[in-house]
Amino acid sequence: KRIVEFGILDGYSLAVFDRATSDACKIEAYDIFEKFLGNGARKPVLDARFGHRMPKVSIAEGDFFDSPTMFTDGTIDLIHVDIANTGAVFRFAVEKLLSKLRPNGVMLLEGGTPARDQVPWMLKYNKTPIVPYIEELKSTPGVQVVVLGDFPGITLVRKA
């Protein structure tokens, strides 16, 4: 019924969510666009690509770190986080957004494998690795965690 995505880039995941869901599903995609220092999304390009999909798909400026105040608890079926993820981003997502999921809702986060923790920008900028947090999370009561793939991997988190 409701998907929320943070980090759009070229809209590949957004296109999959759009194709894989009925028109009754609402998909909200947020990005910080030109404020991101790196390979970022361009809103005019995304508007041209997805504008015909409104009102099902909406694209807006929004900062992931403001997200806890953007949504009511228990109102989202799927949250996708793909914003240059680090261990700190994973921790924030789980601690602040897991409550936003409906029963049986799922959070998808890019990354979660040892190889992904070794990408050059993670090492260069001394970013917190993801894998140690996932191992911690796996022993947390009331949380289910599955990591798929070798690189970059995708991590699924849900309330048990």
* pLDDT over threshold 90, residue 151: yes
Residue 38 has a pLDDT of 67
Q: 3-class DSSP state for residue 92?
A: helix
Q: Count Cβ atoms below 10 Å from residue 55 Cβ, excluding itself.
A: 8
d(CA 39, CA 56): 26
Residue 108: name the closest of 3, 1, 2 by CA: 3
Task: Give the global pTM.
Answer: 0.93
pLDDT digits (tens, 9 = 90+) for 37-66: 666 778 878 888 888 888 999 999 999 999
Contact by Cβ (8 Å): 107, 94:
yes
| % of residues, the chain, pLDDT over 70 | 98
